[in-house]
């Protein structure tokens, strides 16, 4: 199957700082990447969809100025959590697709804001 | 209304036995796709199996099969010959609309499967 690499896998940051999470498709060109958030013991909630070279489409209730998404190339999308606060602590996971039926997921990033 | 419903928060199965994880869905779109993903404790989401709404036969992938009952809007996952490594969270998901390009997928709440030796 296709490989999607997400980095870092874990990050702890101080309240008020920004954190960048990378999502890379290693062996295919991802025309679309998705960013999800998962709270403990809950399902994945789609935050935004990004297509290479265009602005991300955010789901209702997701602050686009807080969660900055960049999809500058066909193999890389980044999610930046700006001015992070403890309530932003969560598991963030990306997926990538190139028009096939299924999307492939990264390993996820566990963010803890202290 | 929930688009994907998984009514079993937790399931136990004896090693080497088969287990069925339930999933029902709700959509008015005639073209859709149904997925099952496995999420081990490490967190990554592993694609298991896919069923398209127009597929005539139930999907199978190794020990995984999808029992697709379109009229009942159910897409249950059957795992045969359970192994200890099958212990994980399992998510049912749905894409509405034709595949290709943009694919917004909605996930169910998941079922935690524990395989007992």
Backbone phi, psi, residue A24, to 5° = -120, 135
- Tens of pLDDT, residues A69-103: 998 888 999 999 999 999 999 999 999 887 666 77
Averaged pLDDT for residues A43-72: 91
Q: What is the pLDDT of residue B103?
A: 66
Rounded to the nearest angstrom, the gap between the alpha carbon of residue B70 and the centroid of all alpha carbons in its chain is 14
- Per the CB < 8 Å rule, is A91 touching B47? no
Q: Choose, out of B2, B4, B44, the residue to mutate when testing the contact with A (most A CBs < 10 Å).
A: B44
Smallest Cβ–Cβ distance between A101 and the set B91, B99, B109 belongs to B99
Provide the 3-class DSSP secondary structure of residue A86: helix
Half-sphere exposure of B33 (CA within 13 A, CB side): 19
A 70-109 near B (Cβ less than 8 A)? 91, 93, 95, 97, 99-108
Confidence label for B62 from pLDDT (cuts 50, 70 and 90): very high
* Mean pLDDT of chain B, nearest integer: 92
Q: A36: closest CA among A20, A53, A58? A: A58
Averaged pLDDT for residues A56-75: 92
- Rounded to the nearest angstrom, the minimum Cα separation between A37 and chain B is 12
Q: B61: closest CA among B42, B40, B39, B37? A: B37
Smallest Cβ–Cβ distance between A99 and the set B47, B52, B101 belongs to B101
Q: What is the pLDDT of residue A72?
A: 82
CB contact B8 to A (< 8 Å): no
Smallest Cβ–Cβ distance between B101 and the set A32, A44, A106 belongs to A32
- Rounded to the nearest angstrom, the minimum Cα separation between B43 and chain A is 6
- Tens of pLDDT, residues B71-81: 999 999 999 99
- Rounded to the nearest angstrom, the minimum Cα separation between A14 and chain B is 23
Confidence label for B40 from pLDDT (cuts 50, 70 and 90): very high
Q: B35: closest CA among A76, A17, A97? A: A97
Residue numbers in B near A51 (CB within 8 A): 102
Q: Which residue of B has its CA nearest to A49?
A: B104
CB contact A31 to B (< 8 Å): yes
């Amino acid at each position: 199957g296709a490989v999607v690499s997400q980095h870092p896998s874990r990050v702890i940051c101080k309240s008020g700082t920004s954190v960048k999470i990378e999502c890379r498709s290693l062996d295919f060109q991802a025309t679309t990447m998705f960013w999800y958030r998962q709270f403990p013991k809950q399902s994945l909630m789609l935050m935004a969809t990004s297509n290479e070279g265009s602005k991300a489409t955010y789901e209702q209730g997701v602050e686009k100025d807080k969660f900055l998404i960049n999809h500058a190339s066909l193999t890389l999308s980044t999610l930046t959590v700006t001015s992070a606060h403890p309530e932003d602590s969560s598991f963030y996971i990306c997926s990538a697709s190139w028009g096939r039926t299924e999307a492939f997921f990264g390993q996820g990033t566990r963010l803890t804001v202290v | 209304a929930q688009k994907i419903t998984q009514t079993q928060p937790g399931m136990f199965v004896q090693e080497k036995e088969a287990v069925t994880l339930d999933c029902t869905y709700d959509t008015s779109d005639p073209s859709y796709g149904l997925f099952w993903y496995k999420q081990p404790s490490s967190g990554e989401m592993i694609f298991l199996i896919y069923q398209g709404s127009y597929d005539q036969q139930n999907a199978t992938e190794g020990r995984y099969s999808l029992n697709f009952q379109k009229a009942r809007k159910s897409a249950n996952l059957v795992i045969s010959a359970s192994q200890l490594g099958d212990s994980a969270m399992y998510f049912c998901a749905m894409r509405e609309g034709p595949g290709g390009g943009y694919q917004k997928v909605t996930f169910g709440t998941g079922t935690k499967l524990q395989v007992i030796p």
